[in-house]
Structure 1
Amino acid sequence: MAQATPLPALYGSQASDKRVQAMWDSGFVNRQMLNCAKRAQGRAVHHSLRLHALSLPSRQVISGCIFKPAPIYWLGLTALLLGLVTSNAPAAADPEAFTAKRHWAFEPVKKVEPPKRGLHGSANPIDRFILAKLREQKLTPDVRAANGTLARRVYFDLIGLPPTPEELNGFLNDKSPRAWSNLVERLLASPQYGERWGRHWMDVVRYADTAGDNADFPIPEGHLYRDYIIDSFNADKPYDQFVREQLAGDILATELESTLQRDNASSEDTLKRGRQRYGEQVAATGFLALSRRFGTGPYELWHLTLENTIETVGQAFMGLNLRCARCHDHKYDPLTMQDYYGLYGIFASTQFPWAGSEEIQSKNFNRQKFVPLLLASEAGLKLQAWQERVKSLRAEIEQLEKQKPADKSAVEKHQQKLAALKKELRNLEKPGVPPDLPAAYAVQEGKPIDVQIHLRGEPENRGAVVPRGAPRFLAGDTPLEIPPGESGRLEFARWLTRADNPLTARVMVNRIWQHHFGKGLVATPNNFGLRGDQPTHPELLDYLAAQFVASGWSIKAIHRLILHSKAYQLSSADDAQNHRQDPANRFCWRFDRHRLEAEAIRDAMMFASGDLDLSRPGAHSFPPPEKWTWTQHNPFKERYDTRHRSVYLMTQRFQRHPFLALFDGPDTNNSTEARGTSIVPQQALFALNNPFVDEQTRLLARRVLAARSDEADRLRYAHELTWSRPPTREEVAKCRAWLSRVLELLTHANTPANQREEEAWSSLVRVLLTANEFLYVD
């Protein structure tokens, strides 16, 4: 089939060689191949390869072997294509580069008016966009889900836990027109909301409690960033502020202290709020500080840590894979190496902490790298007091060691006093943070530097110096105005959260949609570039992004808009005709049934059994730093099981918690844009004989037996705790038959009579806890 565009018009007179023209006309050579050939001269192909390909005769003997016809053909093609770049003819503009810059995600967010009609007569703008697309695709929307199904759905969506029987019955019996709205508001105000949605964000930012270097040192202060995330979601912190604090919270904290000093803030209430906000902003930079470490010593393979930082920044906030431009210009998106190393300079100008080091065990190393959570002026006073006390102790110890008491009683008192002083000094000089000086695993400003390009991504092979800045294809030719002596992180964060940035709002509302509907309007949440998926509903995406910014970047406002839509409230029932036309449900004609994530499964089991502790646990019980002896041959590996919610489980980079790994938990080394859903035999075996499941079934059985005395009431209560609904008649009959049969087997097995009832009910509730109706949300 002939191509639409004549080859000579794009690639000059030499391109009219009959062989290339014939291959172009036949479709054997495409535009991408020719573009690669054009770019080969400077970037894509090593110079020596290009020169050899151009100079090699068509039947050159290499190592005693003569190329056969096919290799000769390809070699000739390579020479011809690479020969195009040496032509004196002027090169035409690259049409693919033009297309990339006009890619939908890089265009400004459009102001879109919703269509007039909505799903089932709804006025909600979401329903109007969804109905228009369904009509375009000739699809019919499903009916509304039952109230009980919707209640369970929204509970898991917003707080990651099922409703209690009392909560469920309260909602079902509420006949007021605001029943649904009241339920949504109550869940959004719940402290469990932040734990649920904070866990989603922790996936994106590759949160872990260890560093990832060869020994995978633990990070005792890492939980402060986790708690910051949870608190931010609970407070509905504006998303633009949330982004700025994670990228430059330490700088914002310094500005805050300057403001307090300038305003001469003296009231205890003002200072208290200022201290709290200062600590939050410092802890927020745990996002950067938790970048994965490599090697055995500080700053070994540092370029890989900065690559992890830049890639996570790009995926989390911009929906772009920036690391592709580390070794060469991005192959698809209009991102250059200059853009990449402009960002690299910003983060290379930042001082990162180090959790520990196999090579450096000095007692002062960690102390110099951690950032105090107190106002700098107050932290300075505490640090000064600590230094003075250490100095005083050393002097007193030195003086006592020179003394020689005469009698026995004096010697004993002397030794006791000397031992006490030495113990106090050891405590003050322990590795880590000085006592009474709370600190965060956070970043702070370093020495500003514009870095050289790493040719082919190799740090020892340097090219031209690149000024720090944002990607030019988005920021334009106007550079970031970075004040002297600063890294540029704050300027980059402010640019990223400008209302006219085309990516930031789109990427976040797509994530919110994804966690409500099971998949995003863009199915590749971390990749809005040319190789990512196109949005199924581009107008709806832009509408939500515009509403997000207009609401003050309120995440809860987008929740409300989505949850009050008829689209969210659709049934998950299948329809044969719709399924034939749209089997993946890309256009939202029904609600997608989906399995709970690993954390929600664990939490729901413990919640049903009454074993879940809903309080916040604080720091993990890591050994004290002075006892750390981990190496690359003996890395840190530990598990701290807890009755608290799964968001508080200690997570490592080198190994995953067995439960989380089995049920597709996140990769803590890279940003996880969406959880997978595997179905493997090990999951069924886990449900049958894992000690954790054994314990939860036993606790649930005891709870049911203690709460109800009648068998029918017990069956109802057990189903309401697990499946959020009463059992049907058929299910009651099956359960009774099951209990009867198990009791019979236990009797024949000579099980003590006082244990049979609990054993029988334990076996029954195991079925309820491991059934699809428990594990899936409709």
Structure 2
Amino acid sequence: MCRSLFWTCIPLLFSFPAFADTAGTEFFEQKIRPVLVKHCYECHSVESKSVKGGLLVDSAAGLLNGGDSGPSLVAGQPDESVLIEALRYETYEMPPSGKLPEDVIKDFEKWVSMGAPDPRTDPVKGSVGSEEIDFETARQFWAFQPPESHVVPTVQDAEWPRSWIDSFVLSKLEANDLQPMPDAERSSLIRRIAYDLTGLPPSLDDLEALEEETGQNSVERFVDRLLASQQYAEHWARHWLDVARYADSNGADFNATFHNAWRYRNYVIDTFHEDRPFDEFVREQIAGDFLDANNMEETSRNLIATGFLMVGTKMLSERDKEKLRMDVVDEQINSIGKVFLGMTVGCARCHDHKFDPIPTSDYYALAGILRSTQTLDGEIQKYVSNWTRQPLPMTEEHEQSLAEYNARVQQLEKEIKAAEAKLTQLEDSSTRSAILEQGILKDDSEAKLIGNWKSSTYSKHFIGKGYIHDDKQDLGSKKVIFEVNVPEDGEYEVRLAFPGSGGRASNVPVVIDHADGSTTISVDQTKRAKLLTMLQPLGRFPIRTDQPFVVTISNTGTNGYVIVDALQVVNVNELTEDNTQAVDENLAKIEAQRKHVDQLKARLKRVKDDAPPPAPVALAVREAEDQGDYSICIRGEPRNLGRKVPRGFLTVATYNSAPEIPAGQSGRLSLAEWLADPQNPLTARVYVNRVWQHLIGHGLVRSVDNFGHLGERPSHPDLLDQLAVEFIQHNWSTKWLIREIVLSRTYQQTSEHDDSRWKVDPENRLLRRMNRKPLSAEQIRDTMLQATGSLDDSQTESPVAALGTLVSQNNPNDAKVQLASSNTRAIYQPVIRNELSSLMRVFDFADPDFVTGRRAETTVPTQSLWMMNSPMIADRSQIIGQQIADLTELNSEEKVQTLYRRILGRPATSQEAEVAIQFVSSFEQPSDDETDSETNSTTEPELQPNAEDWADLAHAIIASSTFRMLD
């Protein structure tokens, strides 16, 4: 059997439906509509005194149809769109008051490239006040009514439900003359549970134990064991980090490094591991700095939790600081609205929400709270804002050791500064002049250059205006040639000037053509030159006036940078004892002082190497100095203020009396209490719906981040209500909720297709079967490491500690960010905005710029190509192949089963085993001891697959849809 045929036996293209999310609509509402309202509506809306150019931009149809110049945009083709040309000032100049910033134009180009998604179906009618919204009527919408408990429905097939969840599901199915699918095979169920709960396949021990045990009790024990594991917390924390828009860098215009974001990441992991109540989790992230704490650990945890408000991307180089402040507030409002409420509150920044009962006054009621909160503080560099960092509590011992350490460092730095000043004084004395004035001194500017030499002044101690170096390029083709004419025949000392340091070549060839012939010397430029740290004597040579004296420095065969500063030629008659004694004495003093400086620096290095842990700080907010209510920004413009509105919350989602905002506080604590109130109709519903989605594959409300009028309606509203009510009654416990769903028969159905059921319910909204789900990018990576026994299960700290203030310098010549790789789980790997790894990009990792309650699920050829060609997959396959080949005590069939268990987390089926054995057997070669040419045996030797064969089989399994899909 040929290998190409085997690859066709395992499908490489994944066949699950693409996920149609609302990212386009959200992008329009955040980036496009506010600009249109602010800059275009005055002349191009139904309320304009006269519509300029016949163009209306206050509806999707008007913008698409265009005006007197024809259609204004071509969906998917920004370069063909008149609108983009006008914004670029290439044809028309819109707006005429001045060209929009480049980042805004880029947003429009991206929007058109996305297909110009635009939810507006009617012309905009201008901003309405809250008095025009009938909130009592608005509260009749399902999402704005507090969840109520419902009677568990009676079903015809009373034997099928395993829990109250199943009764709600079966009731819907029976009402549509449908029956649920049978239970999943045990091996598929175990694999499903392991991945859904921990993001990893079941261990070999779990597989063995669960194959021997039967019944639901063993499954329950398996679920409980996984829920108690650290792997569970890490996997489910990643779900939360998706909605929390977590990253280790800022992205945007100034990709600054978030060195302390890891504390928030680990806080989330610890919260899931401890199963702390979700309502507490909400309060801590919004107002942890206000909450009571019983000890230092709780104080730290509460401060770190407010990193939720910090980790969003920010346009740090915005010079209009008031605009930046309100842009940050907007990002926070938009995130809070989607994460906790499932509402697009940010759409009300410039005008009343067009679809949901959220007036602009409610938006600025929230804005007053967050504007009274300090998120940005100071500057990283001129015009570039910095963010707040909060000190975390320390033990007395830690404080004392830091104080002692800082005192030692300050004292040594003071001594080094004084010693360096004395050294500079010695070097700048008459000794320097006396040495440089000796003989003939030729600067590099007087030399003949062959090849491209680069000028520099980076290193200290150079002669003239600078020095030159070869840039470690074009070895063997670069030369510097000095020609010297001496006034009289004699013996001369030749000195080469260069600033020595690390990175320099240790084998620079210098050819000296003198009166007695030619001498080649190898110069070690990694060491400091003997005289003044820049002039290195090369020896003494005879020189005559009637023939040229030439010194040639080249980069032939060099192992580092070649540096050339100057050449000095001194008649030895000038170097008599009387003439050199004072110079030598001063040089000795200089060298002694230099050694003293080096010793002090070495002491400082030893002290720093033994430094205690630095004072811990967290990426966390604090109260702003100027607090209070804020005014409505007309059309979202912070320089155009309207009436002031009191701080508060969403009117439509407020029942009973809203929490009061005490004087002298921003209001964040009251906001946190309102969000976590059991009477809030949205918070619990939104969360249990997300949990349901992660386990079942789709939410009961499929638009998990939008419970508003543009979102989808719940397929099982009573079940959603009951889940929310039970969740609250069970102390907001995530582990209880997950356990309840996973142990239901609804979850444990097979995912197999049934044509008759499909015709009635093609989208599986009635939950007639289990949904197939693709493994995430993180699950692919971590499975590969676990399969080879390489997965490091330790919890780590900052993955970007080695980076400076900026991830990169934001210029076209920047190389890709290089970070040390590790085998810890994917959640501990760096998330660099704008520079995600190819694995993350190809396999639909959540965009950290946005709240992502549901990741896209795409089926594209690049995924199959990546699996086939990725060096990581090839490397892991080779390791697995060698490990399987080394199991010499097993036969081929046993090896196949071991391989499948490691990679897929389940045994191979009989058909899979048969195909796999045929594959590896087709390339078997006899071993050395079986090919003895002296044997006359006619018996055919038993053939054994080699490591390469098993590696190819492993790679094929990994690249298959069987691996990628969770049945």
- Which bracket does the TM-score occupy, shorter chain normalised? 0.7 to 0.9
- State the match for 2:101 in structure 1: none
Q: Is the 8 A contact 1:510 1:521 kept in 2?
A: yes
- State the match for 2:957 in structure 1: 768
CA distance in 2, matches of 1:507, 1:776: 26
Matched ranges for 1:475-514 at <5 A: 475=654, 478=657, 480-514=659-693
Residue 734 (str. 1) matches residue 915 (str. 2): yes
Q: Is the 8 A contact 1:353 1:441 kept in 2?
A: no
- State the match for 2:739 in structure 1: 560
Question: Structure 1 residue 330: deviation in Å?
Answer: 0.5
CA distance in 2, matches of 1:762, 1:55: 68
Which structure has the larger Rg?
A: 2
- State the match for 1:29 in structure 2: none
User: What is the one-letter code of the residue matched to 1:210?
Assistant: S
Distance 1:197 1:628, change over 3 A: closer
- Quick check: 537-546 or 162-171, which moved more? 162-171
Residue 607 (str. 1) matches residue 786 (str. 2): yes
Distance 1:51 1:598, change over 3 A: closer
Q: Is the 8 A contact 1:608 1:700 kept in 2?
A: yes
Q: Is the 8 A contact 1:288 1:443 kept in 2?
A: yes
2:908 aligned counterpart, secondary structure: coil
Question: Structure 1 residue 165: deviation in Å?
Answer: 2.8
Q: Which of 348, 359, 374 is matched with 2:393 structurally?
A: 374
Question: Structure 1 residue 315: deviation in Å?
Answer: 0.5
Matched ranges for 1:135-284 at <5 A: 135-175=174-214, 178-252=217-291, 255-256=292-293, 274-284=295-305
Question: Structure 1 residue 687: deviation in Å?
Answer: 1.7
CA distance in 1, matches of 2:819, 2:136: 52
CA distance in 1, matches of 2:394, 2:824: 32
Residue 445 (str. 1) matches residue 623 (str. 2): yes
Q: Is the 8 A contact 1:100 1:530 kept in 2?
A: no
CA distance in 1, matches of 2:419, 2:823: 50
Question: Structure 1 residue 419: deviation in Å?
Answer: 4.6
- State the match for 1:26 in structure 2: none
Matched ranges for 1:340-351 at <5 A: 340-351=363-374
Q: Is the 8 A contact 2:154 2:167 kept in 1?
A: yes
Q: Is the 8 A contact 1:746 1:756 kept in 2?
A: no
User: What is the one-letter code of the residue matched to 1:126?
Assistant: I
- State the match for 1:522 in structure 2: 701
User: What is the one-letter code of the residue matched to 2:331?
Assistant: N
Distance 1:722 1:412, change over 3 A: closer
TM-score (norm 2): 0.64
- State the match for 2:614 in structure 1: 436
Question: Structure 1 residue 281: deviation in Å?
Answer: 1.5
- State the match for 1:72 in structure 2: none
User: What is the one-letter code of the residue matched to 1:712?
Assistant: E
Q: Is the 8 A contact 2:161 2:170 kept in 1?
A: no
Distance 1:354 1:525, change over 3 A: farther
- Quick check: 500-509 or 653-662, which moved more? 653-662
Residue 313 (str. 1) matches residue 333 (str. 2): no
CA distance in 2, matches of 1:471, 1:380: 44
Distance 1:355 1:526, change over 3 A: farther
Residue 630 (str. 1) matches residue 809 (str. 2): yes
1:463 aligned counterpart, secondary structure: strand
User: What is the one-letter code of the residue matched to 1:302?
Assistant: R
2:643 aligned counterpart, secondary structure: strand
Distance 1:387 1:182, change over 3 A: same
User: What is the one-letter code of the residue matched to 2:145?
Assistant: E
Q: Is the 8 A contact 1:294 1:302 kept in 2?
A: no
Q: Is the 8 A contact 1:213 1:296 kept in 2?
A: no
Question: Structure 1 residue 741: deviation in Å?
Answer: 2.9
Question: Structure 1 residue 491: deviation in Å?
Answer: 1.1
2:632 aligned counterpart, secondary structure: strand
Gaps of 5+ in 1: 1-40, 59-65, 68-80, 86-90, 261-273, 748-753
User: What is the one-letter code of the residue matched to 1:653?
Assistant: R
Question: Structure 1 residue 210: deviation in Å?
Answer: 0.5
Q: Which of 874, 888, 893 is matched with 1:712 structurally?
A: 893
Question: Structure 1 residue 616: deviation in Å?
Answer: 2.0
Matched ranges for 1:292-303 at <5 A: 292-296=313-317, 299=321, 301-303=324-326
Q: Is the 8 A contact 1:322 1:340 kept in 2?
A: yes
- State the match for 1:103 in structure 2: 141
CA distance in 1, matches of 2:662, 2:409: 38
- Quick check: 515-524 or 121-130, which moved more? 121-130
CA distance in 2, matches of 1:511, 1:628: 33
Residue identity over aligned pairs, in percent, reads: 33
Q: Is the 8 A contact 2:246 2:848 kept in 1?
A: yes
- State the match for 1:270 in structure 2: none
CA distance in 2, matches of 1:280, 1:339: 31
CA distance in 2, matches of 1:355, 1:743: 68
Q: Deviations over 1:378-430 (max 9, x none)?
A: 998888778877876777678878999999598568645765788799999x9
CA distance in 2, matches of 1:473, 1:389: 60
- Quick check: 551-560 or 622-631, which moved more? 622-631
Q: Which of 330, 334, 353 is matched with 2:353 structurally?
A: 330
Q: Which of 646, 651, 664 is matched with 1:472 structurally?
A: 651
Distance 1:356 1:114, change over 3 A: farther
Q: Deviations over 1:13-45 (max 9, x none)?
A: xxxxxxxxxxxxxxxxxxxxxxxxxxxx99997
Question: Structure 1 residue 348: deviation in Å?
Answer: 1.4
Q: Is the 8 A contact 1:335 1:471 kept in 2?
A: yes
2:150 aligned counterpart, secondary structure: coil
CA distance in 1, matches of 2:711, 2:927: 57
Residue 677 (str. 1) matches residue 891 (str. 2): no
Q: Is the 8 A contact 1:373 1:439 kept in 2?
A: yes
CA distance in 1, matches of 2:391, 2:917: 61
2:946 aligned counterpart, secondary structure: helix
Q: Deviations over 1:345-399 (max 9, x none)?
A: 21111122579835369xxx97x93211216999988887788778767776788
TM-score (norm 1): 0.79
Higher helix share: 1
Q: Is the 8 A contact 2:249 2:258 kept in 1?
A: yes
1:464 aligned counterpart, secondary structure: strand
Q: Deviations over 1:670-724 (max 9, x none)?
A: 0112122211111111122210110111111122222353111111111222233
Distance 1:381 1:372, change over 3 A: farther
User: What is the one-letter code of the residue matched to 1:565?
Assistant: S
2:923 aligned counterpart, secondary structure: helix
Q: Is the 8 A contact 1:341 1:451 kept in 2?
A: yes
1:452 aligned counterpart, secondary structure: strand
Q: Deviations over 1:561-594 (max 9, x none)?
A: 1122111111112222210010110011110112
Q: Which of 748, 755, 760 is matched with 1:581 structurally?
A: 760
Q: Is the 8 A contact 2:844 2:857 kept in 1?
A: yes
Q: Which of 878, 883, 889 is matched with 1:703 structurally?
A: 883
CA distance in 1, matches of 2:228, 2:172: 33
CA distance in 2, matches of 1:671, 1:138: 38
CA distance in 2, matches of 1:600, 1:540: 30
Q: Is the 8 A contact 1:122 1:566 kept in 2?
A: yes
Question: Structure 1 residue 731: deviation in Å?
Answer: 2.9
CA distance in 2, matches of 1:597, 1:321: 26
1:453 aligned counterpart, secondary structure: strand
Q: Is the 8 A contact 1:134 1:587 kept in 2?
A: yes
User: What is the one-letter code of the residue matched to 1:702?
Assistant: Q
- State the match for 1:10 in structure 2: none
CA distance in 2, matches of 1:491, 1:387: 41
- State the match for 2:727 in structure 1: 548
- State the match for 1:777 in structure 2: 966
Gaps of 5+ in 2: 1-36, 55-66, 69-121, 427-585, 929-942
Distance 1:488 1:605, change over 3 A: same
- State the match for 1:74 in structure 2: none
